[in-house]
Structure 1
Amino acid sequence: MIALFLEIARESGCRDVGALESLLSQGAGQRSPVLTALESRTVDEEGFLQRLASGLGLPWWNGSQEWDDATARALRRALPSDLALKHHLLPLRLESTLQGGTLSIATYDPCDLVRCGVAARIAGPTVRWEVATRASVAGGLQALYGVGAEAFEGILHEGEGGDDFDLEETLILDDTGDDEASVVTFVNQILRGALELRATDIHLEPMADQLRIRYRLDGILQEVPVPETIKAHQASVISRLKIMARLDIAEKRLPQDGRMALELDGRSIDVRVATIPSVEGESISLRLLGQETFSLDRLGLNAALRRTVDRLLSLPNGIVLVTGPTGSGKSTTLYSFLSRINTAERRIVTIEDPVENKLPGVVQIAVKPDIGLTFARGLRSILRGDPNVVMVGEMRDLETAEIAIRAALTGHLVFSTLHTNDAVSGITRLVDMGVERFLIGTAVRAFIAQRLVRRLCPKCREPHTMEAEDLRALGFPTSAEQNIFLPKGCLACRGSGFQGRLAIYEICLVTPALRALVSVGADEATLRHQAAQDGFISMRTYGIGKALAGETTVHEVLSATMSEGMDTSDDYEQFNPTPWQVTNTPPMAKMAL
């Protein structure tokens, strides 16, 4: 047997056959040789298991599987969760034959006779084995039985068929109960899963018949599969999160806000927690902060835009305003700017609501309206502290805007944000706030608008030809057809076709010509025309360039820039030809794999 495994290991590119042989000999008769080989880290897991499956005449399962509700229930009945989770056995499909039922089960260790024998005895029908990687089996178990199902192996069935009971009393009366330990483990797994997938938000939403849990991944909300009976422990799960956020677990009628700190693989994560009372129980939302590193390189600016940004960051004074809706990445852009100019010779002070990420070497202040610390009051205090650079989280009112302008006119470089759809309308927004036109032209150096679009998975994106006429219709100048890319979906991107997000930008520089038009009260259309003459490139054109470079899709760009005032309904359909491009990222059942 050892000789067979060593031969398979050699064929799959084993890095140290001698070490593996020693480990197999030591564990002979005591543990599975497959697990020994995998844990030795001397073999490529997928290659090794594929060759093993071929040698045993077993089919290979690549981790791609979705189940409808009825099928999932039937599979869970055929192979109970405690058995499946304990032995890492994933039921794939249940087929009826003339001789009876056949249950296909995926395992990463088909040589473990104990687990295979137990499964065959318990499952009832004839078992047909398939081989898969450990990650594929784990992801499938999560999708089928739910995230954190193993935490509740011993207690989940207590609620089935009986009354809906509240474990909160157990939490209060018995610190060491198994139920509490299971709740703690479940919550930790939900949090860890979100961090590993780089989710930005987690939502726990009580429904009439379930506790729905969703992650926001790459800007899209995705439902997390959880055990069906987790509804019975809803109050305990919510209470656990409230305890972690230092909230009042007895107060369930009013909204509450809190924070907690998490750590994963050496990364410190700050979590903002907000609860709201609903008719089905408290709903709780968690915003995960501090997962990013900030640099201009990570913004993915093209060469021309990078040169413009570098010039803006080298200015001794003036205001640079970043515009866009909530969730468009404005804070990340500002933090990246500050990181670029954060040197020993500069004093940088920020005032934010709230402080989303901590920047080494930067003095950061959190707004506290309940004690009178507003943006305007904080900014006045900052200017008395001899700063070189100031960042104001948001320019919300005339008072803050006027103080920021005075700061820029007295030798400070100021960064802030506005909520507008595009760069040029930032001028109109300041005028509507009551800022004098001549001050806008004198103090503001640039308006930068941005949106976030999903980044194509580089491992599975597929090329597609786009006609020059279609590109010109979108405002992208070209005389020849171009290759664009479409999402496909693979294991690396969890079936979505996308990995992460990137920003698309437009920068409106306040040139002398534009400054003159602002001062005389020119309308927005005139300002746009002048900006175009000054070299302004729209966000859509910039985004189409990113699509042609294979970084995103035309559909993503059109979707993100619909608010630019262009009629894009026909374009949107034309470049979104298949259903999977319209829909959100595929279900967590696929993502987990």
Structure 2
Amino acid sequence: EFAAANDLEQETTILDENDSEASVIKFVNQIIREALQERATDIHIEPLEDDLQVRYRIDGVLRNIPVPPRIKLFQASLISRIKIMAHLDIAERRLPQDGRINLEFEGRPIDVRIATIPSVTGESISLRLLGQQRFDFAQMGLSETHEASVRNLLALPNGIVLITGPTGSGKSTTLYTFLASLNTKDRRIVTIEDPVENKIPGVVQIAVKPEINLTFAAGLRSILRGDPNVVMVGEMRDVETTEIAIRAALTGHLVFSTLHTNDAIGGITRLVDMGIEPFLVGSSVRAFIAQRLVRVLCPWCCEPAQYSEQYLKDIGIPLEKAKTAHRAVGCDRCRQTGYQGRRAIFEICIVTPLLQEMITAKATNAALKEAAKSQGMRNLRDDGWEKVAEGTTTIEEVLRVT
């Protein structure tokens, strides 16, 4: 079904009460297939009081999709069908359940993570579609300066590189892209993740299983006994994991991980707030990279944009960068959104000797920010303005995510 999905036209399923099983199977296959064709990252099937809504998350934005009439009658069958595909207990409707489905689409393996949530109007079910990305350094959209900084970081023999940002800001994709570019025959790369979102051939990937005490900390300890060159820890969740990662960096390993902070300098504060000694942060972390995802303008319908000089001054974009700004319009090719795809904007704070001293001396966030700027750090919004000047995205998108 899915292997041949690219040859199939998008269709509308008529749910037939006389042959409900076959039509429900067809409808579930159809929404997964359409979501993959539309490059959606998530599908949400949500029961309302007297209806059932299906939504796709495309380029970070939720969009309702048309559903057959009287779909509410098939609510239980739809949820049960997905539970069967994910090997979940179809009789358990009171507790949340997690599962997975493995599919093939256009010759690529797709991993679908399933999460059910019992709500007052019935079970809601979310499907996360993983395995669609290509981890290509050229696709990251790094500016020349940022690319040079990142290549220098990837060439380091040891130290920690931390990617920061809120959920859904593309941190995992950046980590996987870094690992894919380091993945050579002379390096042993081992990861511990929750969950393993994408498989990289040649990389040893471990999934955390807290129920059997395989936590980030326990997994990381065993990884370090296995002679790795490069280690990736899905997230610095607690002091124990962070301390082991720092020890690993100080004993000759290159470590990559993520933190949930709003900007690069916030990463320093987060580690210190966790209880990590400032001198250890300064001596082990090589860089903090903050990022966000902006939607890319649809090349078929975007138009040059005009803004008042006062508005441009108020938002802080240099006037020469706004000269080539475009606006989103919307056409059939981009589903009337004006955008197609996403690209990351970055803020890269390299821990220079000056910053190392300041971190150890417990300098304030404001002082660290000023010092980082004086050492060449460009903040997220400034990188966003570069993308506006190139015609990649819009002023509105940069303001939305920064």
Question: Same fold per TM (> 0.5)?
Answer: yes
Question: Contact 1:350–1:392 at 8 Å: present in 2 too?
Answer: yes
Residue equivalent to 2:41: 200
Residue equivalent to 1:442: 283
Residue equivalent to 2:121: 280
1:412-450 superposed Cα distances (whole Å, 9 cap, x missing partner): 000000000000110000000011110111000000000
Q: 1:232 and 2:73 equivalent?
A: yes
Residue equivalent to 1:333: 174
The Cα of 1:480 is off from its aligned counterpart by 7.8
d(CA) in 2 for partners of 1:256, 1:517? 47
The Cα of 1:237 is off from its aligned counterpart by 0.7
Judged with a 3 Å threshold, the aligned counterparts in structure 2 of structure 1 residues 186 and 395 are, in CA distance, closer, same or farther, namely same
1:366-406 superposed Cα distances (whole Å, 9 cap, x missing partner): 00001000101100000000000000000011111110011
Judged with a 3 Å threshold, the aligned counterparts in structure 2 of structure 1 residues 466 and 548 are, in CA distance, closer, same or farther, namely farther
1:464 counterpart letter in structure 2: A
d(CA) in 1 for partners of 2:121, 2:311? 49
d(CA) in 2 for partners of 1:200, 1:310? 29
**1:297 aligned to which of 138, 142, 150:** 138
Q: So what's the TM-score if we normalise by structure 1?
A: 0.65
2:63 counterpart letter in structure 1: Q
SS in 1 for 2:88: coil
1:52-78 superposed Cα distances (whole Å, 9 cap, x missing partner): xxxxxxxxxxxxxxxxxxxxxxxxxxx
Judged with a 3 Å threshold, the aligned counterparts in structure 2 of structure 1 residues 466 and 246 are, in CA distance, closer, same or farther, namely same
The Cα of 1:465 is off from its aligned counterpart by 3.5
Q: 1:184 and 2:25 equivalent?
A: yes
d(CA) in 2 for partners of 1:380, 1:464? 54
d(CA) in 1 for partners of 2:203, 2:383? 32
**2:194 aligned to which of 353, 357, 360:** 353
Residue equivalent to 2:339: 498
d(CA) in 1 for partners of 2:198, 2:335? 28
Show structure 2 runs of 5+ residues with no match: 1-7
Q: How does 1:103-142 map to 2 (within 5 A)?
A: none
d(CA) in 2 for partners of 1:270, 1:479? 45
2:280 counterpart letter in structure 1: L
1:279 counterpart letter in structure 2: V
SS in 1 for 2:334: coil
d(CA) in 2 for partners of 1:468, 1:284? 47
2:264 counterpart letter in structure 1: A
SS in 2 for 1:424: helix
Residue equivalent to 1:218: 59
Show structure 1 runs of 5+ residues with no match: 1-134, 159-177, 562-593
Judged with a 3 Å threshold, the aligned counterparts in structure 2 of structure 1 residues 280 and 481 are, in CA distance, closer, same or farther, namely closer
Residue equivalent to 2:251: 410
Residue equivalent to 2:300: 459
The Cα of 1:466 is off from its aligned counterpart by 4.4
Q: How does 1:316-395 map to 2 (within 5 A)?
A: 316-395=157-236
1:170-194 superposed Cα distances (whole Å, 9 cap, x missing partner): xxxxxxxx32111111111011111
1:334 counterpart letter in structure 2: L
Report the structure number with the largest CA radius of gyration.
Answer: 1
1:494 counterpart letter in structure 2: R
1:427 counterpart letter in structure 2: I
Q: How does 1:8-23 map to 2 (within 5 A)?
A: none
2:389 counterpart letter in structure 1: L
**2:363 aligned to which of 508, 522, 526:** 522
The Cα of 1:308 is off from its aligned counterpart by 0.7
**2:328 aligned to which of 487, 509, 514:** 487
SS in 2 for 1:503: strand
2:39 counterpart letter in structure 1: R
d(CA) in 2 for partners of 1:343, 1:441? 29
d(CA) in 2 for partners of 1:479, 1:312? 32
Aligned residues: 395
d(CA) in 2 for partners of 1:434, 1:328? 26
The Cα of 1:474 is off from its aligned counterpart by 3.5
Residue equivalent to 2:382: 541
Q: 1:148 and 2:5 equivalent?
A: no
Question: Contact 1:317–1:408 at 8 Å: present in 2 too?
Answer: yes
d(CA) in 2 for partners of 1:487, 1:346? 44
**Segments of 4+ in structure 1 off by > 3 A?**
465-481
1:410 counterpart letter in structure 2: T
Question: Contact 1:452–1:560 at 8 Å: present in 2 too?
Answer: yes
d(CA) in 1 for partners of 2:250, 2:296? 39
**2:93 aligned to which of 238, 244, 252:** 252
Judged with a 3 Å threshold, the aligned counterparts in structure 2 of structure 1 residues 481 and 434 are, in CA distance, closer, same or farther, namely closer
The Cα of 1:479 is off from its aligned counterpart by 5.7
Question: Contact 1:467–1:480 at 8 Å: present in 2 too?
Answer: no
The Cα of 1:512 is off from its aligned counterpart by 0.7
Question: Contact 1:321–1:446 at 8 Å: present in 2 too?
Answer: yes
d(CA) in 2 for partners of 1:529, 1:469? 26
Question: Contact 2:175–2:256 at 8 Å: present in 1 too?
Answer: yes
d(CA) in 2 for partners of 1:444, 1:280? 48
Residue equivalent to 2:240: 399
Residue equivalent to 1:115: none
Alignment RMSD, CA only?
1.6
1:134-165 superposed Cα distances (whole Å, 9 cap, x missing partner): x9xx87xx6xxxx423xx2xx25x7xxxxxxx
Question: Contact 1:299–1:502 at 8 Å: present in 2 too?
Answer: yes
2:283 counterpart letter in structure 1: T
The Cα of 1:494 is off from its aligned counterpart by 1.6
d(CA) in 2 for partners of 1:373, 1:544? 43
1:305 counterpart letter in structure 2: H
d(CA) in 1 for partners of 2:247, 2:271? 15
Q: How does 1:462-477 map to 2 (within 5 A)?
A: 462-466=303-307, 470-477=311-318
The Cα of 1:471 is off from its aligned counterpart by 4.2
